[in-house]
């Protein structure tokens, strides 16, 4: 295990004119990350992902709990943890006026690498940055900046890399490109802890993941395991009387869920359930205006575990 976390907690207190407010950002998280895997922390904004990563990166002191990161106790040996880490924050940490090369070189020198010049050149080549290496940070595009940020975090070849929402704000091409780069880290044996609020990102990149909501772990496993747990397929129906339809279909489904005028029916074998389902609805005279069959996604896992869709949580976060 490269990361072992037990019952980690953090509450923030903010004082303002309105009085003291406390926010329980992380309410007891347990997690285990294996050596060499890409482990994802998936959840909506405000779920506690960034707070968890910042605690494990020694930036914030946890209120309670224990953690071992890269072989060292987080609370007793924070300096040793820092030596083993590559940390790429949500903001990225690319400076505006300095060149990518100078920033990477500085990181290499801080880590007391034997040949900082060579390590810098290597990581620049690895991330296709050689051509833009001497341009100041502010002139780089969003995708280039992200690559520079990761290059800075990797120049000292850390056994463990933290990526806090690495593709937020990137266009689809740049995201796909970055996914490939992150997936390549598996070959070099670097373990990755990645946080994201994109389902497709977690699905595409992670060997294992945990879903967090309101500072708690609601599910954990490989993407396939998690999706199987919910059930293989989801049939989404638009009906005029969802309650009555749900009651009708319950015997055919593993689970039903009503979301306004939408009815979601979870079934192990969607294709074969569909004809029986349509027949049942007709017999009861429920009016059906549309129907769709999909393989379940991590969003369905999130929905099943929290009662909300990850797509809906953006609005209130």
Partner 1 sequence: MIRHTALFTGYELKKSFSNPIWPLFGILQPVLYLVMFAPLLKDMTPGRTTTEALLMFTPAAMMMIAVFGSLFSGFGLIADLRNGSLERYAVSPAWRPAIVLGRVAKDMVVLVCQAIMVLIVAIAMGVRIGAVELVLVLLLMAATGLFASGLSQGLALTVRDENGMSQSLNLFMLPIMLLAGLFVPISFAPEWMKAIAPVNPLYHAVEAGRALFAGQLGDSSIPIAFALFIVLAVLTTIWSMRSLSKIAG
Chain residues in the site for partner 1 (CB under 8 A): 54, 57-60, 79, 82-83, 85, 87-98, 102-103, 106-107, 109-112, 137, 152-153
C-beta closer to partner 1: residue 155 or 199: 155
User: What's the half-sphere exposure (Cβ side, CA atoms, 13 Å) at 141?
Assistant: 9
Which residues, listed in sequence order, are joined to residue 247 by a DSSP beta bridge? none
**Least CB distance to partner 1 at residue 91 (A):** 3
C-beta closer to partner 1: residue 80 or 262: 80
Q: Which residues contact 234 (CB under 8 A, 6 or more apart)?
A: 264, 265, 266, 267, 270, 293, 294, 295, 296, 300
C-beta closer to partner 1: residue 14 or 45: 14
Query: How many C-beta neighbours within 10 Å does residue 82 have?
Result: 17
**Least CB distance to partner 1 at residue 13 (A):** 12
Structure tokens that stand for 73 in this block: 């106790």
**Least CB distance to partner 1 at residue 215 (A):** 17
Q: Which residues contact 281 (CB under 8 A, 6 or more apart)?
A: 237, 239, 245, 248, 249, 288
Q: Which residues contact 173 (CB under 8 A, 6 or more apart)?
A: 143
**Least CB distance to partner 1 at residue 285 (A):** 59
DSSP states of 191-225 = EEEEEES-HHHHHHH-SEEEEEETTEEEEEE-HHH
**Least CB distance to partner 1 at residue 98 (A):** 6
Helix 172-184 vs helix 142-154: crossing angle, to nearest 10: 10
**Least CB distance to partner 1 at residue 45 (A):** 17
**In which order are the strands placed within the sheet that holds 19-33?**
19-33, 3-16, 64-69, 72-73
* 150 closest CA partner among 93, 91, 88, 101: 88
C-beta closer to partner 1: residue 33 or 53: 53
C-beta closer to partner 1: residue 153 or 242: 153
C-beta closer to partner 1: residue 12 or 128: 12
CA atoms of 203 and 60, how far apart (whole Å): 29
C-beta closer to partner 1: residue 97 or 289: 97
**Least CB distance to partner 1 at residue 149 (A):** 8
């Amino acid at each position: 295990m490269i990361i072992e976390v037990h019952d980690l907690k953090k509450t923030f207190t903010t004082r303002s004119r309105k009085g003291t407010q406390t926010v329980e950002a992380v309410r007891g998280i347990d997690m285990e990350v294996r050596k060499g895997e890409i482990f994802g922390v998936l959840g909506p904004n405000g779920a506690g992902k960034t707070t968890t990563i910042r605690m494990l990166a020694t930036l914030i002191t946890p209120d309670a709990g224990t953690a071992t990161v890269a072989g060292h106790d987080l609370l007793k040996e924070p300096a040793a943890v820092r030596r083993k880490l590559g940390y790429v924050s949500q903001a990225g940490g690319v400076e505006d006026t300095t060149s990518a090369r100078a920033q990477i070189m500085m990181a290499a020198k801080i880590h007391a690498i034997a040949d900082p010049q060579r390590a810098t050149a290597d990581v620049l080549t690895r991330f296709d940055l050689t051509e833009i290496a001497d341009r100041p940070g502010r002139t780089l595009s969003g995708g280039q900046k992200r690559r520079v940020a990761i290059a800075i975090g990797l120049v000292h070849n850390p056994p463990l890399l933290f990526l806090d929402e690495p593709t937020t704000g990137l266009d689809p091409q740049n995201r796909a490109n970055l996914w490939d780069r992150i997936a390549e880290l598996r070959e070099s044996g670097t373990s990755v802890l990645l946080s994201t609020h994109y389902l497709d990102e977690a699905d595409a990149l992670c060997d294992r993941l945990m879903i967090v909501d309101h500072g708690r772990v609601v599910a954990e496993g490989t993407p396939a395991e998690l999706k199987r747990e919910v059930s293989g397929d989801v049939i989404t129906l638009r009906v005029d009387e969802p309650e009555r339809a749900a009651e009708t279909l319950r015997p055919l489904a593993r689970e039903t869920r009503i979301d306004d005028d939408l009815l979601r029916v979870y079934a192990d074998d969607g294709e074969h359930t569909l004809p029986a389902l349509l027949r049942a609805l007709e017999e009861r005279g429920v009016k059906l205006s549309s129907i769709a069959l999909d393989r379940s996604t991590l969003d369905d896992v999130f929905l099943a575990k929290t009662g909300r869709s990850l797509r809906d949580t953006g609005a209130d976060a």
